[in-house]
């Protein structure tokens, strides 16, 4: 990964240790909750694919249940890839169409129909409800598929894809998720796929964020996690100060997403 702004990849020994650590984490969270199955949404992207592979390694295929949840703006190839992951791993999976549910929301609040972001977030929250419906029914635990980079800039829907019981990939940058996916044996086309949240037609993560993930990884690692000043970060990451400040603004504006809802301090 030497063509990236900064190389965040693991050595072979580090990668093996990270893989073992994350799989032990999944197993420990399941045991602590007394859960019988792990439930996760499968999107066909590298994050959910990696999480599914780790869960199967940690728990066995019989203890993992995948949900493929297409909507009207979902890319058919992505949904096909999601099913391919489930079939490759030998896990149970269901295809649950979210359109009828989202349509009912819009029937209740028709004035929101033209609001791309609001409707996109409603799609993400519908998927979260379905994840928990299945998990509750099966005495299961919902596994998140978010990574460290996206969490740092709030690139997830509050109470949507952020509504999970644990984040196995939560301390891994996108570059590291791709490396781990390849090590786990995921297909090359899934490892290198252009990321999309699938919230509206034609949406891609990098276009919405305004930069590629390698640059975003570098900025998050340097200035958000490492405290490197913006000017130095821009130089090291071979990007602009404007990009660095944009990421810093996203991090600050999304602080509320990374914490439980606030309450006033106690009076007495």
Percent composition of the chain: helix, strand, coil (DSSP 3-state, to 5): 55, 5, 35
Reduced to 3 states (helix: H, G, I; strand: E, B; else coil), residue 69 is coil
Half-sphere exposure of 94 (CA within 13 A, CB side): 12
List the chain residues with pLDDT less than 70: 1-2, 196-203
Sheet holding 92-95, edge to edge: 92-95, 64-68, 37-41, 140-142
Q: Residue 91: what pLDDT?
A: 98
Q: Residue 195: what pLDDT?
A: 72
The tokens describing 152, both together, are 């740092």
37-41 and 64-68 as β-strands: parallel, antiparallel, unpaired? parallel
CA distance 14 to 57: 18
- Find residue 5's DSSP bridge partners: none
Nearby residues of 258 by Cβ (< 8 Å), 6 or more positions away? 151, 154
Q: Residue 202: what pLDDT?
A: 65
Q: Residue 204: what pLDDT?
A: 72
Burial of 259 (0-12, 13-18, 19+ CB in 10 A): exposed
Q: Residue 4: what pLDDT?
A: 82
The pTM of the full predicted model, rounded to 2 decimals, is 0.93
* Phi and psi at residue 185, to the nearest 5°: 100, 10
Give CATH for domain 12-194. Answer: 3.40.50.620
Q: Residue 75: what pLDDT?
A: 74
Nearby residues of 154 by Cβ (< 8 Å), 6 or more positions away? 250, 251, 253, 254, 255, 257, 258
* Phi and psi at residue 70, to the nearest 5°: -75, 150
| Nearest-5° Cα angle at 78, 82 to 195 | 105
Half-sphere exposure of 144 (CA within 13 A, CB side): 24
Element of type H or E holding 38:
strand 37-41
């Amino acid at each position: 990964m030497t063509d990236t702004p900064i190389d965040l990849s693991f050595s072979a020994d580090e990668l093996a240790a990270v893989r073992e650590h994350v799989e032990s984490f999944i197993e420990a969270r399941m045991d602590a909750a007394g859960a019988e199955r792990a439930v996760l949404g499968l999107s066909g992207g590298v994050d959910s694919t990696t999480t599914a592979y780790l869960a199967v390694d940690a728990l066995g295929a019989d203890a993992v249940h995948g949900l493929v949840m297409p909507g009207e703006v979902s890319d058919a190839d992505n949904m096909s890839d999601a099913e391919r992951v489930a079939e490759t791993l030998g896990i149970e999976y269901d295809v649950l169409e979210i359109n009828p549910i989202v349509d009912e929301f819009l029937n209740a609040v028709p004035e929101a129909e033209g609001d791309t972001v609001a409707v996109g977030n409603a799609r993400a929250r519908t998927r979260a409800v379905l994840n928990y419906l299945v998990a509750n029914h099966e005495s299961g635990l919902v596994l998140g598929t978010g990574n460290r980079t996206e969490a740092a800039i709030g690139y997830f829907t509050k109470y949507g894809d952020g509504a999970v019981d644990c984040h196995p990939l939560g301390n891994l940058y996108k570059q590291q998720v791709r490396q781990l996916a390849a090590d786990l044996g995921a297909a090359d086309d899934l490892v290198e796929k252009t990321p999309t949240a699938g919230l509206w037609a034609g949406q891609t993560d990098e276009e919405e964020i305004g930069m590629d993930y390698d640059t975003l990884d570098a900025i998050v690692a340097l200035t958000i996690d490492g405290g490197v000043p913006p000017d130095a970060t821009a130089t090291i990451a071979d990007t602009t100060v404007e990009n660095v400040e944009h990421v810093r603004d996203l991090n600050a504006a999304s602080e509320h997403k990374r914490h439980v809802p606030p309450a006033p301090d106690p009076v007495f």
